[in-house]
Amino acid sequence: MISSLLVRPIRWSTALDAAGAWLLALVWIAPLLFAVWASLRAPGEALDFSLSRPFTLDNYRAAWVAAPWPTYMLNTLMLVTFTLAGQLVLCTLAGFAFARFRFRGREVLFVLVLLQLFILPEVLIVENYAMVSRLALLDTIAGMGLPYVASAFGIFLLRQAFRSVPVELEEAARVEGCSWLGVLWRVYVPVTRPVYLAYALVSVATHWNNFLWPLIVTNSPDTRPLTVGLSLFGAPESGVNISIISAATLMVVAPLLLAFLIFQRQFIQSFLRAGIR
Partner 1 sequence: MPRSRALDPIAQRQRRLHALYGWMLLTPALLLLTLFAFLPAAATLWGSFFSRGTPRRPAVFNGLENYADLFADPTFWTVIGNTLLYAAVTIPVSIALALLMALWADGRMPLRGFVRGAYFTPTVLPMVAAANLWLFFYTPGLGVIDAFTGLFGLPPVNWLGQPQTALWAVIVVTVWKEAGFFMIFYLAALQTIPPDLREAARVEGAGRFTYLRRVLLPLLMPTTAFIFINALINSVKLIDQLFILTKGGPNNATKLALYWVWEMAFSYFDRPHAAAMTVLLLLVLGVVAILHFTVFDKRIHYR
Footprint of partner 1 on 173-232 (CB under 8 A)? 180, 205, 208-212, 215-216, 226-227, 230-231
- Give the one residue of 63, 94, 189, 195 binding partner 1; rule: CB under 8 A: 94
User: Which of these ranges, 54-62, 64-72, 191-199, 261-269, lies near partner 1 under the rule CB under 8 A?
Assistant: 261-269
Smallest distance from partner 1 to CB 165, Å: 16
**Residue burial 87-110, b: 16+ Cβ < 10 Å; e: rest:** bbebbbebbbbbbbeeeeeeeeeb
**Footprint of partner 1 on 98-127 (CB under 8 A):** 98, 101-104, 106, 109, 112-127
- Give the one residue of 29, 57, 167, 262 binding partner 1; rule: CB under 8 A: 29
| Count of residues in contact with partner 1, rule CB under 8 A | 97
Nearer to partner 1, 55 or 180 (CB): 180
Tell me how far CA of residue 226 lies from CA of 68, 70, 190, 207, in angstroms.
10, 9, 33, 11
Phi and psi at 129, nearest 5°, equal -65, -45
Smallest distance from partner 1 to CB 62, Å: 15
38 contributes a contact to partner 1 by CB under 8 A:
yes
User: Which of these ranges, 50-58, 59-67, 192-200, 262-270, lies near partner 1 under the rule CB under 8 A?
Assistant: 262-270
Cβ distance 252 to 226 under 8 Å? Answer: yes
Residue 230 burial by Cβ neighbours in a 10 Å radius (0-12, 13-18, 19+):
buried
13 contributes a contact to partner 1 by CB under 8 A:
yes
Nearer to partner 1, 167 or 257 (CB): 257
Smallest distance from partner 1 to CB 260, Å: 5
Nearer to partner 1, 34 or 64 (CB): 34
Cα angle, residue 36 at apex, residues 33 and 39 outer, rounded to 5°:
145
- In 3D space, the residue among 183, 147, 151, 149 whose CA is nearest the CA of residue 168 turns out to be 183
Q: Which residues contact 124 (CB under 8 A, 6 or more apart)?
A: 147
The packing angle between helices 226-234 and 242-262, to 10°, is 150
Cβ distance 37 to 46 under 8 Å? Answer: yes
64 contributes a contact to partner 1 by CB under 8 A:
no
**Footprint of partner 1 on 155-174 (CB under 8 A):** 155-156
Smallest distance from partner 1 to CB 144, Å: 12
Smallest distance from partner 1 to CB 214, Å: 10
Cβ distance 277 to 160 under 8 Å? Answer: yes
Residue 213 burial by Cβ neighbours in a 10 Å radius (0-12, 13-18, 19+):
buried
Q: How many CB atoms lie within 10 A of CB 256?
A: 16
**Footprint of partner 1 on 69-88 (CB under 8 A):** none
12 contributes a contact to partner 1 by CB under 8 A:
no
| Dist. CA 60–CA 36, nearest whole Å | 11
10 contributes a contact to partner 1 by CB under 8 A:
no
Smallest distance from partner 1 to CB 168, Å: 19
